[in-house]
Amino acid sequence: MADRFGGKWLFGGSVLLSSVVALLTPAAARIHIVLLIILRVLSGLGEGVMLPAIYAMIARWTVPKYYTLVANVVLLGMDVGIFAGMFVTGILCDYGFAGGWPSAFYVFGAFGCVCSAAWSLLCYNSPSDHPRISAVERKYWETVIGATELVVHPPTPWREILTSVPVWALAVAFFANTWGVGTLATCLPLFMNDVLGLDMTRNGIFSALPFAASLAAQPLSGLFADWLRSPGKLSTNAVRKIMCAVGFTLAGSFIILASYVGCNRALAVVNICIVVACSCVGFSCVAVNQLDLAPLHAGKIMGLTFTVANLASIAGPLAVGVLTSDGSRSEWQNVFYLTAGIYAVGAVVFVIFGSGHCQSWADEVELTLTGDRSKGS
């Protein structure tokens, strides 16, 4: 849907829906738990189209050789949101208006509404739709992407996508990445409280710090990956597999180490910062490989792989709840071992079955445009 109808309205509408849900959440929580659950489901449905919509636009607003850097920088907003959310929410819960915790929903809900309005006014699906770019810039995009590809909406080869081994290998790797980062994002404050004994304000600050590491690591890893893909260096296929293997292996190793640092809060936070930074290296594979496989279908492939990855967002916190019934250090060590194991499985599956090549089932006009992207051209 995002590829065919464009990402502008899908993304803007999903942001607006999530923002309205946030504004209504405190009232729903006071009325009835069922109403709160309904609102959270609506928010999830809205957020589900965000990434496919973004990728439909990235495919038409990015020079292929800069795919990794552009996607990493665009998605850096997720880490900025996590960082700001954890930092500000901890403070608002202690000192905010409307009773503390409700103020966090009001502040972020209002901010989301403003962002949705700005997006609707400033963003367009492709250079061919933009009314304010110059003729020179439009000509540039027609040259590097192709005049036809800026507007074409080819039929979706669903059978080929659903039976593609590289697509499912990417889905497994995406699941592993989301399990690691998602578990940290949702459960790190609990670890900070159970094991490190931090109060609410300091908990919010220390929980936010690891995701601040991604503000530098994510764009740098994207820049490095695209440099490796440049002509005369490594193929896109090799770069994707190297980044996935190295990032996941280091993230898994350091997350185990984080569970053995004792009560040294600073060292624990440093270790988790390294985990998040290494995850960004792996993210340079799983968040961009959709564009390698079939650029004009990247939104649909992202929708499929992100759906699988989101299962980790559900299962990860559930696993943490089961494994940390007492909140002891040994229980949290089991959580981190499980996370490291999932990272390892994701890396092995992608290295064996993943691909950085444009697939044969991509439409003919796309293949004519891109050829074999294995050299990063």
Residue indicated by tokens 């690691």: 180
Kindly report the three-state secondary structure assignment for every residue of 62-81.
CCHHHHHHHHHHHHHHHHHH
Q: Under DSSP, is residue 336 helix (H, G, I), strand (E, B) or coil?
A: helix
Tokens of 265: 């809060």
Q: Which residue has the higher pLDDT, 282 or 269?
A: 282
Decide: 363 and 155 in contact? Cβ < 8 Å. yes
Q: Could you read off the pLDDT of 155-203 as tens digits, one per residue?
A: 778 889 999 999 999 999 999 999 988 777 666 666 665 555 555 555 5
CA angle, corner 375, sides to 373 and 377, nearest 5?
60
What's the average model confidence in pLDDT over 10-37? 83
CA separation for the pair 320, 118 (Å, rounded)? 38
Q: Left, alpha or beta for 366 (phi > 0: left; psi -120 to 50: alpha)?
A: alpha
pLDDT at 243: 94
Q: Which residue has the higher pLDDT, 164 or 130?
A: 164
AA identity, residue 67: Y
pLDDT at 305: 92
pLDDT at 340: 92
Domains of the chain, by residue range, sit at 2-375
pTM more than 0.85: no
What's the average model confidence in pLDDT over 195-212? 60
State in words which class domain 2-375 has. Answer: mainly alpha
Q: Under DSSP, is residue 241 helix (H, G, I), strand (E, B) or coil?
A: helix
Q: Could you read off the pLDDT of 302-349 as tens digits, one per residue?
A: 889 988 998 998 888 888 888 877 767 777 788 889 999 999 999 999
pLDDT at 377: 34
What's the distance, Cα to Cα, between the start and end of the chain in Å? 28
pLDDT at 69: 84
pLDDT beyond 50 at 300: yes
pLDDT beyond 90 at 373: no
pLDDT at 335: 85
pLDDT at 250: 93
Q: Could you read off the pLDDT of 53-73 as tens digits, one per residue?
A: 787 788 778 887 888 888 888
AA identity, residue 134: S
375 burial (CB, 10 Å; 0-12 / 13-18 / 19+) is middle
CA separation for the pair 338, 333 (Å, rounded)? 9
Q: Which residue has the higher pLDDT, 29 or 169?
A: 169
Q: What DSSP character marks residue 133?
A: S
Residue indicated by tokens 């972020």: 108
Q: Could you read off the pLDDT of 250-271 as tens digits, one per residue?
A: 999 988 887 776 566 677 777 7
Task: Name the band, by pLDDT with cuts 50, 70 and 90, for residue 5.
Answer: very low
Residue indicated by tokens 């901010």: 111
Tokens of 11: 């993304």
Task: Name the band, by pLDDT with cuts 50, 70 and 90, for residue 372.
Answer: very low
Residues in the chain: 377
Q: Which of 40-49, 123-132, 275-284 has the highest mean pLDDT?
A: 275-284
Tokens of 295: 């650029």
Contacts of 315 (CB under 8 A, 6+ apart): 179
pLDDT beyond 90 at 222: no
What's the average model confidence in pLDDT over 232-249? 92
CA separation for the pair 285, 289 (Å, rounded)? 6
